[in-house]
Structure 1
Amino acid sequence: MKIVVLVKQVPDSGAERNLRNDDNTVDRGSANNVINEMDEYAIEEALRIQEAHGGEVTLLTMGPERATESIRKALSMGPDNAVHVSDEALRGSCAVATSAVIAAALRTLEPDLVICGAESTDARGQVLPHMLAERLGVAALTGARKLTIEGSQLTIERQTEEGYEVVTAATPAVVSVWDTINDPRYPSFKGIMAAKKKPVSTLALADLSIDASTVGVAGATSAVVDHSKRPPRSGGVKVTDSGDGGTQLVAFLATEKFV
């Protein structure tokens, strides 16, 4: 089985994140960039499938040249190789354009199974798996907390607020996973050293026959029109009870629309 795992380099969610002033896109150049957390669970699931059923695990990422660092870190977990779609014209691409580029790259790889995180910590759109499945004409099994494989048949437990749904489909398919599906392994020293020698191929828009005018900031179907810093926290309201403390408290709660 040929498995492709989508990996994205994102600004660290534990640090301050900013938007650029010129085009209101995420300022990735000044951020501490890391592997999207949910993608680590996707990598782990792919490796477990490989261990149980054999095959090859390939990472696929779209991002600037510096995303190579995250690719190598992801490879240290155990995948066999990686493909990096990198082109200056891609900066600022919306989800629609991103799905078109990644779908084009996936067609060159012809995977049996595509696994990705259910969302990225920078955009949190949860739409890319569905868009990819639509563009590729395959099934989308999204929001999985469990995945089982029997031959070419896939079965997931789709996590919901009320419990879970059972969804089945045949390969090829796109599966997105939540962080409840497994516990990602830590890279070993051997894995870290091996990752330095694993093949990483690079694709540009020309290699995928995609017009540069359809991607990036200029080709985006959505945009942030304005942004500002979150206002600093103000001090709380102290109620001094002089016999009417209850009345003051209810009045404050009413002002904040709690009652």
Structure 2
Amino acid sequence: MERLRSVDGWATRALRLLLPPRCLLCGSAGTAGRDLCAGCASDFVPNAMCCPRCALPLSVPAPLCGECLARDPPFGRAWVPFVYAHPLDLLETRFKFGADLAAGRVLADGMVDRAVADRPERPEALVPVPLHAARLRERGYNQALELARPLATAFGIPLRADLLRRLRATPPQTGLDAKTRRRNLRGAFAVAVDAVPPDHVALVDDVMTTGATLRECARMLRRAGVTRVDVWALARAPAKR
């Protein structure tokens, strides 16, 4: 059961009424009631040229990236509006590892704004990538769920945080190649017993690196009878050179 903090709980909302917003990155006055100024917001790198299937940033337009040509992903399309780069990476690190929920709110607002502009095809439900119970207790919140909540509210899409379960804790994935990540994640996720999933869902996550976690989650959902799984993530890491 989640005792957990929210990126926009009542205490946060009350504080925002009392204190003017300040940019979390440079300290200037925030814009549009947010803790981010227009200048720093403009420094976020849009994921404008990317693989239409997995959203991998590309240097030149292509029908699909090499990875998707070689190995068809189990999800239909990925909508990932930003490249994981400076200065978004600073806010993401504070949000994910520093318990900075104000940073999470800024990132969630940016994701909602881009969804309004990009208009990705609406699924029947949003499914946040789950954390293992031990990691959830340690962190106090699931960053994917905190991004999914504002999206669900803004677009009236049901939020199905009950659908997927993380059965097994896995070692940190940072620095691992795609093959090792896939091996670590085998058997890590399952669809909840007696769950009746919709036909079309979108998995929600923060950063898509190799896509191994999202592929495994999508595979489990497809196995449970979901006809189409898409991916909605905040940022996509460029391919390593």
> Which TM-score applies when normalising by structure 2?
0.33
Look at both structures and tell me which one has the larger radius of gyration over its CA atoms. 1
> Which TM-score applies when normalising by structure 1?
0.31
The structure with the largest helix share of the pair is 2
The structure with the largest strand share of the pair is 1
